[in-house]
Amino acid sequence: MSNLDQIAKLAGFSKATVSRVLNQSPHVSHETRTKILKIMQEMDYVPNRNAISLSKGQTLQIGIITSTINEIVLAFLDSFVEIAGQYSFQTIIYTSGEDKKKELQAFEDLKRKRIDALVIISCVNDTDLLSTYCKYGPIVSWQRMEHTAIRSVAMDQYEGYMLALQHLIQKGYTRIANAFGRPSSINTQSRQRAYEHIMSEHNLPILQHWNHSSIYNIRDGEQVVRDLLQRRDEFPEAILCANDYVAVGILCEARRQSLSVPEDLAIIGFDNTELAHTMGITTVQNPIMGQAQNAFFMLSPQLIGRQMELHSLEYSLIERTTT
């Protein structure tokens, strides 16, 4: 009788349920999980992942490829390193600086079995080229991918942005500006669609100089406020931000310019970072940790021989003091 069978028998649950607990599936009740974990602890049960890996010739290293390391990718990186570590895998982060050749190094390392799997945070090479590497090991992406060979854990930001827009409109704001990120990204395009849909649905005005693009960080956010103040008679009532850092920059600069928030300008961030929490910024909770865990779970059949249930993820609006 295997250890798993014994645990199932002692706990009075099926082997599938025990397996679900091991795989951290959300579809197990808290009580069941606690009971099974207690029995595992009593039995001193440790899933012998190293043994599995050695027999498969694995390196126990997973690569992540990213063009840069910044605050935005930090939450994903951190969560992925954590979940991979729980399964005895080390995460190695390749930086490319958007250099195609450096980016390919990570894919070549997958080919040469220097790493067991690869996670894409951002890439600049042609997706058709990158997908030819799928035969060497599992690849998943946080970036939205156009190629079906590489699965993505990305969520459609249309939904998240729509939550923020609906919140503003319910509160009676009608003059709504945007601080968008990279214009070419699928995420930005989804946000733009949500904005255009809702504004036209409610017959609300869209002024061209309310739409800012390539806004990424605190300094960019500060500049947006100064730019908007150039046309004081056409000043918006609210602004949606590419991320919480941009929202922090806008909030601090607005206060320096003697604007009251939310009376003169309402602000909504994106991601729900610790900064949005401490500064009381209304934001969209982006389940980045869940996406990072899903990335590992998608790799798991090939890494640890187990199919793992993906988290079902949703955005939610966190209302604070800036709206």
95 binds a second copy (CB under 8 A): yes
151 binds a second copy (CB under 8 A): no
- Of 207, 205, 218, residue with least CA distance to 244: 218
Q: Closer to a second copy at the Cβ: 63 or 137?
A: 63
Nearer to a second copy, 68 or 307 (CB): 68
Q: How many CB atoms lie within 10 A of CB 254?
A: 24
Count of residues interacting with a second copy (CB under 8 A) = 37
Q: What is the DSSP string of 158-183?
A: HHHHHHHHHHHHHTT---EEEE---T
The answer to whether 323 contacts a second copy (rule: CB under 8 A) is no
Does position 94 interact with a second copy (CB under 8 A)? The reply is yes
Q: CB of residue 248 vs a second copy: minimum separation in angstroms?
A: 6
Cβ–Cβ < 8 Å for 285, 155: no
Report, in Å, the least distance between residue 15 CB and a second copy.
30
Site string for a second copy, 252-271 (x = CB under 8 A): xx------------------
Give the one residue of 69, 124, 129, 207 binding a second copy; rule: CB under 8 A.
69
Q: Which residue has the tokens 């029995």?
A: 39
Per CB under 8 A, the list member of 4, 10, 92, 318 interacting with a second copy is 92
Among 85, 183, 301, 305, binds a second copy (CB under 8 A): 85
Q: Give strand pairing partners of 151.
A: 140
User: Which of 16, 277, 307, 312 contacts a second copy by CB under 8 A?
Assistant: 277
39 near a second copy, judged by CB under 8 A? no
Relative orientation angle of helices 288-304 and 71-86, to the nearest 10 degrees:
40
Contacts with a second copy by CB under 8 A lie at 61, 68-71, 74, 77-78, 81-82, 85, 90-97, 99, 102, 105, 114, 217-219, 222, 248-249, 252-253, 274-275, 277-280
